[in-house]
Chain A
Amino acid sequence: MSSFRECFEAYGANYDVTMERFMGNEALYLRLFGMLFADDNLQRLGDALAAGDITGAFEAAHTLKGVTGNLGLEPLYRAVCEIVEPLRSREERDYKSMHEEILAQFQRARELLDNLKEG
């Protein structure tokens, strides 16, 4: 069994910087972390990309960036950042693979949440 900090850091997040944002309150963090999976922005991002709606995709990705950044989920955050800037400038890119990477990182984050909850 690992501690919160160990799990968190093993995942690739910075415990101190992140938890300062939550006043060191791990329970609060877990509650907000859980809300990430109820958030519809990931769904919206996928739908918009599938429909070729760059604006909608940007808005959803932009929000996800803010949220994941605030949650300190570094790997997921980086994956979201990858997609936000090209979307903002409406570049023609391989958004599909970027989206897949985001989905993969979401899965990792879900596992982190489960670990943290168990811990």
Chain B
Amino acid sequence: MPQKLILVVEDNQINRTVLSGILFAEYRILEAENGQEALSLLKEHKDEISLILLDIIMPVMDGYTFLSIIKADPAYSGIPVIVTTQSGSESDEVTALSYGANDFVAKPYKPQIILHRVASLINLRETAAMINQFQYDRLTGLYSKEFFYQRVKETLQQSPEREFDIVCSDIENFKLVNDIFGVPAGDRLLCGVADLYTKFVSGKGICGRFGADHFACLLERHWEYNDKLFVEANALINALPNAKNVVVKWGIYNIVDRTVPVEQMCDRALLAARSIKGQYGKYFATYDDELRGKLLREQTITEGMEAALAQEQFVVYLQPKYSIKDGGLAGAEALVRWNHPQWGFQHPGEFIPLFERNGFITRLDQYVWEKVCAMLREWEEKGYEPLPVSVNVSRADVYQADLPDILIHLIQKYKLPPSRLHLEITESAYTENPGQIIATVNRLRELGFVIEMDDFGSGYSSLNMLNKMPLDILKLDMNFIQSETAKPADQGILRFIMDLARWMNLSVVAEGVETKTQLERLREIGGDYVQGYYFARPMPKAEFEVLLLEAAKASKEKAPHRAKLRAQQRPLLLVADEEESYRVQAQQTFGSRYQVVGAPDGASALAALDGNEHRVAAVVLSLTLPDCAGFNVLDQLVGMRDIWNIPVIATSPPSEQLEERALELGADDFVCKPYSQKSLWRRVMRTVGIRSSAQRERALEKEAYRDYLTGLLNRRGLSAACDPIREEDLPVAVYLFDLDNLKQINDTLGHLEGDGLIQRFGALLSRHTRKSDLLARYGGDEFIVIMQRMGDEQAALAKGEEICRVFRESCRTDRVPAACSAGIAVCHAQEPLADVIARADEALYRAKSDNKGGCCLWKG
């Protein structure tokens, strides 16, 4: 640190030199011979000068004049001044002090005294400056937190007869203002708020800022606080230039007991403000016994939560989900209940939000996941229907990087398919840092977990976001549905959401269904599953197991195709045929790819379509359904073509008339009975394939890169797949194989034989190479193999010889006397692949001319 700078103002050179000599070891010194000179030096160095040593009696401008000038100028008035006087001239000293000097020293100088006074004055000034900094909030100029506390204490002590309140405020979503409009805009808003506070409190109290968006003031109690006051204050704040719909919550602490520490008073006022966070239309709250009770209770809960987890006081309840269509049990949601040994059952609405705030939710969630997995395992072993159970995944869980590991570990531990565990992630979890959450949830989904979006409609997701969010099932928030069902059926946004879900191929679970009206409404607009008190309350495991048993019985007795709660439903293939054998065969043929639904007549065909239009891939429709229903169904399908374009493949025994009529009506294809399953498969694939043109294009693209005979890459595919040679892949071996005698075989045995030979060689190459190697059919009878990290020339040669030998041997038993030759080039440095191929080609040429059926390694 550089030494501090002292300005010595003294006309007499001897005195000046003596002073400078004394100070010289510890300070840097500027000297001035008179006041005038001192002022110009001061102007030049004002921020550096730590202290002025001033002689009073000087020519040109004496010390008093100099003092009055600098003490009147705020830029200099803070610099401490020590006046040098003659010993014994008390009047000089007094006059100097009255002019604003901070101290004096007498001539003849006593070095120790001078140094001491100089040091302590400089130190005092710096401390004062520091205190000043701490006293005021730098941004707004209000008192800082610590100093506010101090001032409140003083005020309370000085005015024992007056009554005061602490009023705190908290700007909701202030971070959002900073986020959206930038920190400078947020800062300007804070300054605006501070100004309002200053104006309002002026003369009645004091105010401070506690960091971020928390303001506090001490106000003398003159009134009852009412909404009007705070509504107005809120309006004033929102009228500030940088305020965009900010919501301010106020908390009041009435000071009654002055022995309560001021810090606690302010805390309590702030707690009161926070207690109404997010409550629309609530502007202020007073810290009172009720709030105190609530906070104390929260504290008790916090203290008891660890033990509760250890002692398994948390119990998993299950709330059944039912299929709207057939009323069957479709799954359950796991909900946690807290059975406290003294307090009894605790309301989740009380402890869950608290756990979400204090982070304990993560541990509780994991506990529930494990309990649920254990249940699923147990049911599996008891042979119950394998219904999925959904569990909550809190926002805090999603932020944990190892969430997928934790879940996978559980699934493996209890030997369950991941699809049995549905993960409910609340919509609002996506609002902060959506990128990361989407990535994590995507990963979970890839792992096979089924993602349900909880509370859909309650958050802020845009349609755009919804499209990016990885999910399988939408859960509609009950409040949302409750307000929606009150409206006329056609006007609801609910239908829109349902259509949206259909379009995104999502299932919809309506949660919190409590009345028959709600259910009817949901049925009307085509919801899939319901959950709610109207059907069943959350229940203990044992009770749910009774339902599981009943469901199993029911499904055996009457409804073999129960609508189990599924994630992404497989596309559906409807086979409407009066002959059971066709339906059964179709099930076998298409079962792996589609959910095949058979319908023996028109009515059941239409029933199966109803509500499933979005996922019907195709309909195989017998035109000879009983009661001529075939054409009726076709009519209906064609009739809704502008909404659901479902391809129809009509079937019937040979009848030109029926075939023509069906095609005329709009059937996409016709298959004549009796048909083979293979031909039906092709028809269905073709018809469906045309519909999904995007997929088809991808397939075509793939085809364009593949050699049709061998399935290896073709030349185009090779150049697309071939990245430039990378350093870490060296050495790279390039093989060119040439089938000897192919032309002869084609000529003598026909092209079919030749093609067969090519195919066999392709297959052989695949078997004798690694997955990472690139294989391509390079030309008619030429193949190229690129092997990375090949070791050395000898290894490359050995591999080539092995392939040639195996091929020769495989052909020996055949009637075709085939063999192959190979040219090999190994590259050890990064170079264009084409050059390496050219060398391999040279080597191949040599191999062929030397001895067919051999290998040649290129040598420079």
Contact = CB atoms under 8 A, between A and B. Distances in A.
Contacts of B89: 88
Q: Is the interface of A mostly helix, strand, loop or mixed?
A: helix
Q: Is the interface of B mostly helix, strand, loop or mixed?
A: mixed
Nearest to B57: A62
A65 B11 CA distance: 14
A21 B12 contact: no
Point out which of A39, A66, A70 has the most chain B C-beta atoms below 10 A from its C-beta: A66
Contacts of A71: 14
Given A63-B57, A84-B86, A28 B15 contact: no
A20 B111 contact: yes
B275 to A, nearest CB: 69
B286 to A, nearest CB: 69
B108 A70 contact: yes
Contacts of A63: 11-12, 57
A36 interface: yes
A35 B12 CA distance: 10
Contacts of B84: 66
B859 interface: no
Contacts of A69: 86-87, 107-108
Contacts of A88: 89
B222 to A, nearest CB: 60
Interface residues of B, number: 21
Interface string B8-25: 000111110110011001
Contacts of B17: 28, 32
Contact of B13 (A21, A22, A35, A77): A35
B18 A22 contact: yes
B109 interface: yes
A22 B14 contact: no
Nearest to A23: B21
B57 A70 contact: no
Interface string A39-54: 1010000000000000
A44 to B, nearest CB: 11
A72 B25 CA distance: 22
Nearest to A64: B12
Contact of A21 (B11, B87, B111): B111
B18 A70 contact: yes
A21 B108 contact: yes
A28 B108 contact: no
Contacts of A20: 111
Nearest to A28: B21
Given A28-B21, A59-B57, A66 B111 contact: no
A28 B20 CA distance: 12
28 contacts: A20-B111, A21-B18, A21-B21, A21-B108, A21-B110, A21-B111, A23-B21, A23-B111, A25-B21, A28-B21, A32-B14, A32-B17, A35-B13, A39-B12, A39-B14, A41-B12, A59-B57, A63-B11, A63-B57, A66-B12, A66-B55, A66-B84, A66-B86, A66-B108, A69-B86, A69-B87, A69-B107, A70-B15
Given A23-B25, A63-B11, A69-B108, 4 more contacts: A22-B21, A69-B87, A70-B109, A84-B86
